[in-house]
Amino acid sequence: MKAVGARYRIGVLTLSDKGARGERIDESGHILRAMVDTLGEVVCYQVIADEVAEIVRVLRDWSDVEGLDLILTTGGTGLSPRDVTPEATRVVIDREVPGMAEAMRQASLAKTPHAMLSRAVTGLRGATLIINLPGSPRGVRENLAVLLPALPHALAKLKGDPADCAR
């Protein structure tokens, strides 16, 4: 069992057709890696195309085989026909954690009306927390900043921390 303050094993998965073809630098993935440095170590990182089957395969592998504590996805949460990250995530997760996605949308909505177009999903697959984040560097930075204060507690609870949540 890991407690609050523990170092966690993290995966960063970037969903980008252009990135997968080497036509775009993955700025958002690099921002995520830097932002979670105090939370744990990024042990899995990959850039793949926006394909449901491939996203599902990686999320399952990283959860079930690699045993990651946290998977952060970036990209594919909007309205374009190729934005399929939420659909792939829903195939994989056992339970949703809607408050996290709601908190990201609420904080973002204070900055841009486009936040209401986000279809990001957060949820659990076994003992792995999976969080969909936007694909833009600014969106990634702003949205993960909303969640970072709660992530150590969330991950500790997910790993079986028996301590009371109330202070």
pLDDT digits (tens, 9 = 90+) for 101-114: 999 999 999 999 99
Query: pLDDT value at position 2?
Result: 55
Predicted confidence at residue 115, as pLDDT, reads 93
Q: Which amino acid is at 87?
A: E
pLDDT value of residue 43: 98
CATH top-level class of 8-158: alpha beta
Q: Is the pLDDT of residue 1 over 70?
A: no
Dist CA 62 CA 104 (whole Å) = 24
DSSP class of residue 131? E
Closest CA to 131 of 51, 34, 54, 62: 62
pTM: 0.94
Q: What is the pLDDT at residue 161?
A: 82
Q: What are the Cα distances from residue 138, in Å, to 37, 98, 103, 133?
A: 18, 22, 16, 11
For the purposes of burial, counting CB atoms within 10 Å of the CB of 98, is it exposed (0-12), middle (13-18) or buried (19 or more)? exposed
* Chain segment 38-48, per-residue pLDDT in tens: 999 999 999 99
Rounded to the nearest angstrom, the gap between the alpha carbon of residue 20 and the centroid of all alpha carbons in its chain is 18
- Other CB atoms within a 10 A radius of the CB of residue 167 amount to 3
Count of Cβ atoms closer than 10 Å to residue 14 Cβ: 25
Count CB atoms within 10 A of the CB of residue 61. Answer: 14
CB distance 88 to 119 below 8 Å:
no
pLDDT tens digit string along 58-88?
999 999 999 999 999 999 999 999 999 999 9
Domain ranges of the chain: 8-158
What's the mean pLDDT when you consider all of the chain? Answer: 94
Confidence of residue 158 (pLDDT cuts 50, 70, 90): very high
